[in-house]
Structures are given as structure tokens and as C-alpha cells.
Amino acid sequence: MVSTESVLTFAAMSLLVIVIPGPSVLFVVGRALAHGRRTALATVLGNVIGCYALVVAVAWGLGALVESSVAVFTGVKLVGAAYLIFLGVQAFRHRGEMRVANLRAPAGERRGDLRTVLDGIFVGVTNPKGIVFFAAVLPQFVNHSAGHVSVQMLLLGLVPVIIGMVTDTLWGLGASAARSWFARSDRRLSMVGGAGGLAMIGLGVTVAATGRAD
């Protein structure tokens, strides 16, 4: 199976890639600013599931297809970018509905947790950074002579997913903490909700404009 040295090396490389804010981090921050801590954490959960879905796809050989085909890669990227822009527009449009009193509203009146998790899954699955990393880097750390290549990929894939979960959670908690200061004023809260929406729109445009490494 995979050696300890390979796992540690892969973990170090994963950390270097993950600490550079990408679509996942910016999306979590945008949701934290627009909707608060609970939504941010649900987004992190969804994103983790989405990222691991990419690992599963690579283990099954689908990742190679996405990485090798410019058309498929571009299609996945544009779908993800469009969805980010849609979510950002929605957050910006409804920024005026954010009120200090809403922070104390019953859980049933908040944005649905399941819907938020699904949003996170979609963004995680269509994240170009994740697609390239898992399709191009993950297979390099597999010990082919040991067999069970798919199982090795599934186990190795847990490393960046766990690292990403920890770092994204910290980003989300930090952003939601800053939001709590803005929440002392309805106007501030509306402004930060709009800022979160604009951040997601900008992220979607950036993702759409980003090309492949080759």
C-alpha cells in the first residue's frame, strides 16, 4: 500500500496548495459574510463531500477524462462559475432583508441546511483547482506495484480533504466572527451581505476566466 513517506509528502504538497485561497475558501468566506456561521459550516461540509467526490471520480478513471479533454474541463468550469455568480446575485439582491433581529430567528426560518450543503457539494465538484489537483497530482503518489490502486487513491484523497475541512472551517469561523461585529447595525449587516454576494460574483467571473495549467 502507500508508504508513510508518500503520505507525508502528499500531505505537505496538499497543504501548500490548500493554503492559497481558491474557490472553496472564497466561497465559504462569502457565505459566512452573507449568511453567518451556521451557513458557513454547512458550506464547508458540502464542499468536503464535493471534493471527495472528485477523489472518487479520479479513482474510477473519470478524472483523467476531465483533465485530458479541454471541452469537458471547460464545461465543468463554466457550469461551476455560473452557479457561483447566481448565488452571488441572489445574496446581493436580498442583502436588504438582512436584519439584526434575523440572527435570533428560529432555525426553521434560516436558509435550509440541506440546500446549503448541496450548494457546497456543487461548488466542490466543479472547482477547477480541485479537478486539476486530484486528476494530475493524486495518481503520482500511488504505489502501482502494490495493487489496489483505486483503494490507495481513496485513502490518499482523505488527506487533502481533511486538511481543507480544517482550513475552510477556520476561514468560515473567522469571517462569521467579523460578521457578528457588523450585525450590531442593520445597515452594516446589509453592507456585509452585499459584500459577500459581490465576492461570490467576482469569484465566479474569476473561475470562468481561469484557463488550464497547460
Residue 207 confidence class, pLDDT cut points 50, 70, 90: low
pLDDT above 60 for 120: yes
Residue 176 confidence class, pLDDT cut points 50, 70, 90: confident
Residue 201: per-residue pLDDT: 80
> Residue 17: inside a domain, yes or no?
no
pTM: 0.67
- On the CB side of 78, CA atoms within 13 Å amount to 6
As a dihedral over the C-alpha atoms of residue 26, residue 36, residue 117, residue 23, rounded to 10 degrees, the angle is: 0
> Residue 109: inside a domain, yes or no?
yes
Overall domain count for the chain: 1
> Residue 99: inside a domain, yes or no?
yes
> Residue 98: inside a domain, yes or no?
yes
Task: Report pLDDT digits (tens) over 23-58.
Answer: 777 788 878 877 888 999 999 999 999 999 989 988
Q: What share of the chain in percent tops pLDDT 70? A: 70
> Residue 152: inside a domain, yes or no?
yes
- The residue segments making up the domain with residue 44 are 4-12+22-209
Name the nearest CA neighbour of 66 among 121, 122, 135: 135
Name the nearest CA neighbour of 168 among 58, 68, 20: 20
C-alpha–C-alpha distance, residues 41 and 38, integer Å: 5
Contacts of 119 (CB under 8 A, 6+ apart): 31, 43, 46, 83, 87
CA 113 to each of CA 20, 70, 89, 129, 195: distance values in angstroms, whole numbers, following the listed order: 27, 34, 20, 25, 22
Task: Report pLDDT digits (tens) over 71-102.
Answer: 766 776 677 678 768 877 877 776 665 544 44
